[in-house]
Structure 1
Amino acid sequence: MTINNTHIVGSPYFPGVVVGKLRKGMHDEVNGYIVMCSQDELSSFAALPEGFIVVDAAPFSHRMIGLLGLGVPTVLISEHQAAMIEEGMELLLDGTSGRITGDLDIASPVTGIKSDLKAGQAVLMADGEPVTLSVSVRQPSAARKAKALGAKDIGLVRSEFLLPADGRVPDTDFYRDTFREICEAASPLTVTFRLLDVAADKIPTWLPASDSQDQSSG
């Protein structure tokens, strides 16, 4: 019998405790797995895994910020730590503490979401200090969830991430409809939209290469 003595402490990124077999890289079948990958592989998802282990990631890069919005427990580790984990290992991942372990019997109890959260109101710390939660979203479902979890407002919608499902170039009608859907999902919260902002790590697929180089360097 093989004993899995894996015990790694990485950087916590998104909270939650999950158990699953490790799969290296993003594949079509990720349901039920904990996926280990680089941030460059975090572009699009046909399905979501139980948890993410991201190797040598830049926590505040646009792709990693997008990962936060998926709500999947995530831990960041180094390339050296990644070498200690093998395909198919049964692991427990704790996105709150940053722990990755082969000891599956130490899972923390899952606590439910507080039912007294009210959208548009500040959350109070133990000492009474208010915490204002503004949220960045990319789709109506995320705006709806943010409202349900007590967000004060939708602080930013990055329009460069709003893309037609069929891959066509977005036009006025697309943006009008999408903006309306997000505003309706977030109502009565205030929504702030940012117009197209192109950078090296967030170039829309519909933008010609020559134009994207000019805009991302300007």
Structure 2
Amino acid sequence: MENCCNDKACEVEALQERQSSVLKIVLLINAVMFVAEMTAGLMSGSISLVADSLDMLGDSLVYGFSIYVVARGARMKAISALFKGGIMAMFGLFVLGQAIYRILFPHVPVFEAIGTFGMLALIANSLCLLLLWRHRSDDINMRSVWLCSRNDIIANVSVILAGVGVWLMHSGWPDILVGLALSALFLRSALFVLRGAITELKGINV
């Protein structure tokens, strides 16, 4: 009798189990960092930290939904990608609104909190990216999850730079500019994911 792992169905099942395990780990990491960054962002008055924490929350929801669709068909995975794109767009618009508010009502955030929690978030998301790396080309579900994680790294570095800028300039403008940049990144990624999901759904329906 042939070994089960030589069977295509068994290989797919094993892959799905690995994907699910990885997603559960990154979900937990993002949920913990959401609480930490949101608390620090609200206490320090930092747009960039609040924005990054909301991104962590969005990622937690995304990963949870991704776990649900790991063992499901291509259609459900494409719908999952649509959901992720929608979350990216929603948070992009929210951050844009927060940045505009800070332009109208200036405030100098606490740069120590921005730098410290920005660095912690960078470490956490680097771990997530490393865990997701081998699965980035598995399917549209894991590809969109990996894209979220990659964007998080860019966002974290930007937050750290915002903290440095606030420290050097004694102004809230670096924090605002990073908020605007993160908003643009989220909206651009949302468009990319949504286009891919719509194309996938059209292919399935043909």
| TM-score, normalisation: structure 1 | 0.24
Relative to total residues, which structure has the larger strand share, 1 or 2?
1
Q: Kindly indicate whether structure 1 or structure 2 has the higher relative contact order, using CA contacts under 8 Å at least 6 residues apart.
A: 2
TM-score, normalised by the number of residues in structure 2: 0.25
